[in-house]
A and B are shown apart, each in its own frame.
Chain A
């Protein structure tokens, strides 16, 4: 689903001006754009082919030929990080999509209906929250088989209650407003009001939460791949690279250092971006976590 971001009563120029003065937003935007650019670039070009194993080049330290060194199969670490970027982004993005696609309608529905429907949905939310997300993701991928697809599902499921809660809280604050009353007086249905008036007004909240969940999704994917339950080789993934590095820390520490830094930079960029957006669009907003 697409949420069109409707910023009421404010000109775009003013917001852009504030955006460029916000350090957090600027830094986050630049980092995120860079990571995305690297991921896109990897489709067309990488310094080396990540599927070719050159055993004679194995575990080479960083050099001019291999900036980040090579792994135990002689693959170029920089190239693997580039390809890994698109894998991480894809998994986290789809997982956020699942969370929003299911969670937002549920939360909006709960807020619009109230009463028993609201109670039941919120109790179900509590139920999902009682399961430590990572443990359950491990259980799901272990049961239904390891792989990127099941990792997406497992991470996505735990995004659902997060978005449901944010959407509900946001919508509850919108419902008592006068323009909603006007829409109801005009005879619009609750569903229509939710779509036309409530959603646009909570879009920024959802956008901020989306960037946070995106960052968490990247961390979760890395964790699952690290324990061998996420993305499977030969597809390079940051978590899997760290798993391979673990037993070779003494001879090839670069195998661990660079993929980890890729994760840190990506997550940092997304978090800064989320903070920045929250600041710009609503200086008083307190981030939900």
Chain B
């Protein structure tokens, strides 16, 4: 167990360090001098040079990387070139939109997908299964931003039930804020739920063929109990893996969905920063999301050990 965890932890740390190098290197080769950009076209060479040295842009690459990476560890991402405020403040401000959105979508997707997967697996080959899996097949094919547009048309333009975009802020109250995140979360969740339902179904079908399921049935356990207590738990490994992967999809997916709904989240921040060549903001957000993915994957690895006791003894 400990060896397994240590190995996973080491892999996570190495991946994180390599990822930080990649992010740093990519932004290093971008054309465009941030100092020149900040000062505008009329700046003299001296002024630019002065700002460059103030911003630490003249130091050797390795030193700048170490300085940047060291800062990351203490959540000091540096200052935004355009906003002149610490990047962490910008990120924190936007995270209160993006994180609840991603979590809502993840919860929604799980709540829809697991029962559908259970339903389909226990009625394999029958009409209910065919219809549910047909719907899932369709769900996988729907681009979430198009689905979002359709939702806006139906619920905001036509029925006027929810706002079609924008975010009032949490200060306007929890309900109005949640209400404006509802459509985006549904748009994000649907394609993910479709994938998750398919995975749940096929994992369950595999488990339902096992001998211990027959034993449980033979000793007279009600089918419902067999399904929930024996089958679902054993089918959890692929399901948890996909859930972990989906978190990454959802975080990245919020970027496009936020643009559909004009939500002031991380995605909008990234787009603005890209347009303004505010590299340090881009760098920080990408790094943050990559770190989130790595941490989630590590947690998924940990959860294998919890879900599947057989793994605990293994290397």
Contacts and interface: CB of A to CB of B under 8 A. Distances in A.
Contacts, number: 116
Interface string B212-249: 00000000000000000000000000000010000011
A194 to B, nearest CB: 27
A96 B15 CA distance: 25
B253 A143 contact: no
Interface of B: 11, 14-16, 18-19, 22, 26-27, 30, 137-138, 140-143, 145-146, 149-150, 152-153, 157, 195, 199, 202, 206, 242, 248-249, 251-253, 255-256, 259-260, 270-271, 274, 282, 286, 289-290, 293-294, 297
B108 to A, nearest CB: 19
Contact of A268 (B15, B19, B138): B138
A272 B141 CA distance: 10
Given A260-B143, A267-B140, A130 B297 contact: yes
Chain B binding surface, main DSSP class = helix
B176 to A, nearest CB: 22
Contact of B152 (A227, A249, A260, A267): A249
Contact of A245 (B137, B149, B157, B206): B149
A250 interface: yes
Interface string A225-254: 011000000000000001001100110010
B157 A249 contact: yes
B26 A139 contact: yes
Given A126-B15, A227-B256, A264-B142, A138 B293 contact: no
Interface residues of A, number: 41
A256 B290 contact: no
Interface string A116-137: 0000000100110011111110
Interface string A211-232: 0000100010011001100000
Nearest to A264: B141
A127 B293 CA distance: 11
Interface of A: 123, 126-127, 130-136, 138-139, 142-143, 215, 219, 222-223, 226-227, 242, 245-246, 249-250, 253, 256-257, 259-260, 263-265, 267-268, 271-272, 275, 286-287, 289
B141 A246 contact: no
Contact of A127 (B19, B202, B252, B274): B19
B149 A246 contact: yes
Given A268-B138, A272-B137, A134 B293 contact: no
Given A143-B26, A257-B150, A267-B140, 8 more contacts: A130-B16, A130-B19, A130-B294, A135-B286, A135-B289, A226-B143, A242-B149, A245-B149
A126 to B, nearest CB: 5
A134 B255 contact: yes
Given A132-B293, A272-B137, A246 B260 contact: yes
A35 B212 CA distance: 47
A260 B191 CA distance: 14
Contacts of B255: 134-135, 138
B105 to A, nearest CB: 14
A242 B145 contact: yes
